[in-house]
Structure 1
Amino acid sequence: MPQVLTHHQLLEIAGEFGTPLYVYHAERITEQYQRLRAAFRETDATFFYACKALTNINVLRHIKSIGCNADCSSINEVKLALLAGFEPSKVLYTSNNIAFSEIEAAVSLGVHVNIDSLSNLRKFGERYGHSYPVGIRLRPNIMAGGNLKISTGHNKSKFGIPVEDIDQVLDIVKEKNLHIRTLHIHTGSEIKDVEVFAKGIEVLFNLVKHFPELEVIDLGGGFKVPYAPGEEGTDVELLGKSVKAEFEAIAKIYGRRLQVWFEPGKFLVSEAGYFLVQVNVLKQTGDTCFAGVNSGLNHLIRPMFYGSYHHIENISNASGVPEPYHVVGNICETDTFAEDRMIAEIREDDYLVFYNAGAYGFEMASNYNSRFKPAEVLVKDNKARLIRRRDTMEDILATQVVLED
């Protein structure tokens, strides 16, 4: 059974650090990484944690300590990873519609680089030629993921160089004598169907013959995690077997073995995260009972942004009779976390926990309505420690420039 924090532990943590509060369980992150390693033990696989899911430097340091690498989506994430102690050779930067100066900065730091546009690929060739191995992010035109907002590989997506432009890619590679080490795709998030990865592999394997220095096929991330009770995530064990067979086949065809890289983010940290809130008011409106909590979309935007589900429990009255509630926030905006959700009887001042809150929770938080961002706590070796303090009014004003009258 996976390691989880109990209601009693969460109540103690809420009492010590206050709410709203993000809590992360280090040992749960470790379990998820070990599961991936076991699933791909017969394949030359390397995992880069997609740190856009959660960039607290203490979490990054823990992920480094368990042997995982770091995948970054901005030059600042690259710098955070290096500050957390990752060696440049363990850091991957996949660009997305960025100024070429950011790619130059990444190269100066010595990290792996993937390029996602013909324009920047040409600039890279003009600047570096064959001197710096580079990866190409392609758009495979595969529709995948939980919904359109988190699908990145379809034929309308902004991500990657369209695979139908491969002839232009090859022209640039030849003209600029580029050293192409990696072919990369990422089709989306919440991918449950293993066949989606197989389709991506097929797209890339058909291109291997064009890149004699190729060492790596990067399949991105997007593994689904179970959110609702009884829901199933990606069968990574089955995926491991499928990838092993596919890569053995390509080795026979081309006479060389390629590495496979993955970039799991949510898979590593989502289930390790808990979001704790307290109920401010109960408001009965006709048949609807609103449970208004001391948080809102400024702290957890996912339900309103793309309809994500977070299981919610009342940890201070867990034995109460379940009743239907609309769990809503305190922001001057519609910020509904759940509708008609059956939850043990809620009373004012009760504590609620949102599960699967480790990924894209705090990371997407804001100071909307000039409210404070919550604190973060890391639980490791059964000890809860503060890893980010709650905002203060000074933080709200810190970057504002007050003009003289």
Structure 2
Amino acid sequence: MQLSGQQYQIQGLNVLDICQQFGTPLYVYDADVIIRQINNLKSAFNTVPLRIKFACKALTNISVLKLMQTQGIGIDAVSVAEARQALLAGFKPKDITFTSNGVDFSEIQEAVELGVSINVDNLPTLELFGKIFGNTVPCCIRLKPNIRAGGNAKIQVGHEHSKFGIPLAQLPDVHTLVTKYNIVINGLHIHTGSDILDPEAFIQGANVLFTVAKEFPDLAFIDFGGGFKVGYKKGDKTTNMPDLGEKLSAAFKEFCKDYGRELEMWFEPGKYLVSECGVLFVKANQVKQTPSITFVQVNSGLNHLIRPMMYDAYHEIVNVSNPAGELKTYDVVGYICETDTLGSDRQLNEVRADDVLALLNAGAYGFTMSSQYNARFRPAEVLVYKGEARLIRERETMEDILRNQILLDF
């Protein structure tokens, strides 16, 4: 979203016109930003055989998935339903990886029946996998590298106490199961967390994988996960992709030389591809002045964007209706019957009732983590593609709230 003259635009479209057409609250995604981020990643790793698997839990709208598919990337799914969405969007089974965590084994079996690649992250599942499939279906294993990296503690997933991955200390048990059931291990995977700024965290994880990989002769790929840092505030530092690409690619090529053949390098970015593409537009219901704070109360809240409450995440807020107004200080809060502060102590151009505010960097883990809490409707979604704003999800209605409920006759 860019300020052009006295109006904010997405691909040349006035955002207020988009909000007028589709109403608020409203998620709007810029396809050009998604394509830009994909190309940035491809460019940074253009000297190695690269496969990008979009971590679709970040944004699962099937039109967005279809856009990803047209750009030649794959999907990392964390449920069979996500895998099925990807298939509906046009992905082939071979382009989808199912990375489960603690699921019932029937879900693994269903994923195998769909033909998608399997990533296993615990010993009991690996043993069941071996018993049932033997050497007929290959799988990847997810390792826990004992690295603490990333932003909020809730999104650090590679450390010793994380529930994710097989600890390195259990590698002998992995080999026992692989030998016992003749399991074909075709990939190794780690994911240490989200919002990782320091390239050395990736290099550290890579070194773990390179060491372990020498114990597995049938590898086709190594998956380095995702977690690249994106900017939320002006001046925020982000992952230096060219620097990371140069360092990690050099290390990977040296490893492949030692391994004896060339493998594929996989990444599974989520937030990096879609965070910056998304804007949540909300309307100011009223401006509430108190002796100490001025609240802007909007027609949205934690039911539509839970990240500020769950992760203490920062989203820049802009008054798109009054970009030239006098700067004043506000707390922007939601309409949920819970404390749902979307932004505190924010300098905004003067906000008036019915003004439209934009919450930036809302493309990742926005709609996908939304709910019907307080019996509120989830918002519509719009994709701006080639200069046209197109509806990709209708706003919910009362029928959606009541769907699947059963009213008993007492």
TM-score by length of 1: 0.98
* 1:94-152 superposed Cα distances (whole Å, 9 cap, x missing partner): 11001111111111111111001100000000011111111000111100111110111
Deviation at residue 247 of structure 1 after TM alignment: 1.2
Give the one of 359, 365, 368 matched to 1:363: 368
Give the one of 78, 87, 93 matched to 2:92: 87
Give the one of 399, 402, 405 matched to 1:397: 402
* 1:1-44 superposed Cα distances (whole Å, 9 cap, x missing partner): 99972796211100111000000111111111011111111011
Residue 218 (structure 1) aligned with residue 223 (structure 2): yes
Q: Report the RMSD for the aligned CA atoms in angstroms.
A: 1.4
Give the one of 245, 249, 258 matched to 2:254: 249
Gaps of 5+ in 2: 4-8
Give the one of 340, 354, 362 matched to 1:335: 340
> 2:371 is matched by which residue type in structure 1?
S
Deviation at residue 363 of structure 1 after TM alignment: 0.6
**SS at 2:48 equivalent:** coil
* 1:187-232 superposed Cα distances (whole Å, 9 cap, x missing partner): 0011111111101111111111211101211011111111101112
Give the one of 39, 44, 52 matched to 1:39: 44
Residue 154 (structure 1) aligned with residue 159 (structure 2): yes
Match of 1:298 in 2: 303
Match of 1:144 in 2: 149
Match of 1:348 in 2: 353
Residue 62 (structure 1) aligned with residue 67 (structure 2): yes
More divergent stretch after superposition (7-16 vs 349-358): 7-16
1 CA distance for matches of 2:396 and 2:213? 50
**SS at 1:222 equivalent:** coil
* 1:347-389 superposed Cα distances (whole Å, 9 cap, x missing partner): 1111100110100001100010001101111111111111111
Deviation at residue 238 of structure 1 after TM alignment: 1.1
Task: Give the 3 Å change call, closer, same or farther, for CA 2–164 of structure 1 in structure 2.
Answer: farther
Give the one of 231, 235, 241 matched to 1:236: 241
Match of 1:193 in 2: 198
1 CA distance for matches of 2:88 and 2:55? 16
> 1:251 is matched by which residue type in structure 2?
C
1 CA distance for matches of 2:38 and 2:89? 18
State the 4+ residue runs in structure 1 displaced beyond 6 angstroms.
Answer: 1-4
Residue 25 (structure 1) aligned with residue 30 (structure 2): yes
* 1:274-320 superposed Cα distances (whole Å, 9 cap, x missing partner): 10000011111222100000101000000000100001100000011
* 1:318-366 superposed Cα distances (whole Å, 9 cap, x missing partner): 0111111100000000000111111111111111001101000011000
Match of 1:99 in 2: 104
2 CA distance for matches of 1:235 and 1:133? 34
The question of whether the paired residues in 1 share the 8 Å contact of 2:317 and 2:358 is answered with: yes
Instruction: Show the 5 A alignment for 1:108-119.
Output: 108-119=113-124
The question of whether the paired residues in 2 share the 8 Å contact of 1:247 and 1:257 is answered with: no
2 CA distance for matches of 1:322 and 1:112? 52
Deviation at residue 251 of structure 1 after TM alignment: 2.2
The question of whether the paired residues in 2 share the 8 Å contact of 1:2 and 1:28 is answered with: no
Match of 1:264 in 2: 269
* Percent sequence identity over aligned pairs: 51
Give the one of 348, 373, 377 matched to 1:372: 377
2 CA distance for matches of 1:207 and 1:66? 32
> 2:234 is matched by which residue type in structure 1?
P
Instruction: Show the 5 A alignment for 1:70-81.
Output: 70-81=75-86
How many residues end up aligned between the 2 structures?
A: 405
The question of whether the paired residues in 2 share the 8 Å contact of 1:7 and 1:315 is answered with: no
> 2:251 is matched by which residue type in structure 1?
E
The question of whether the paired residues in 1 share the 8 Å contact of 2:48 and 2:253 is answered with: no
> 1:342 is matched by which residue type in structure 2?
Q
* 1:53-104 superposed Cα distances (whole Å, 9 cap, x missing partner): 0001111111101111111010100000001110011111111001111111
Match of 1:50 in 2: 55
Match of 1:127 in 2: 132
More divergent stretch after superposition (187-196 vs 2-11): 2-11
**SS at 1:173 equivalent:** helix
TM-score by length of 2: 0.97
> 2:96 is matched by which residue type in structure 1?
V
Match of 1:208 in 2: 213
**SS at 1:154 equivalent:** coil
Match of 1:14 in 2: 19
> 1:313 is matched by which residue type in structure 2?
V
* 1:151-205 superposed Cα distances (whole Å, 9 cap, x missing partner): 1101110001111111111111111111000000000011111111101111111
Instruction: Show the 5 A alignment for 1:161-200.
Output: 161-200=166-205
Task: Give the 3 Å change call, closer, same or farther, for CA 177–311 of structure 1 in structure 2.
Answer: same
1 CA distance for matches of 2:396 and 2:249? 47
The question of whether the paired residues in 2 share the 8 Å contact of 1:315 and 1:351 is answered with: yes
Gaps of 5+ in 1: none
The question of whether the paired residues in 2 share the 8 Å contact of 1:144 and 1:153 is answered with: yes
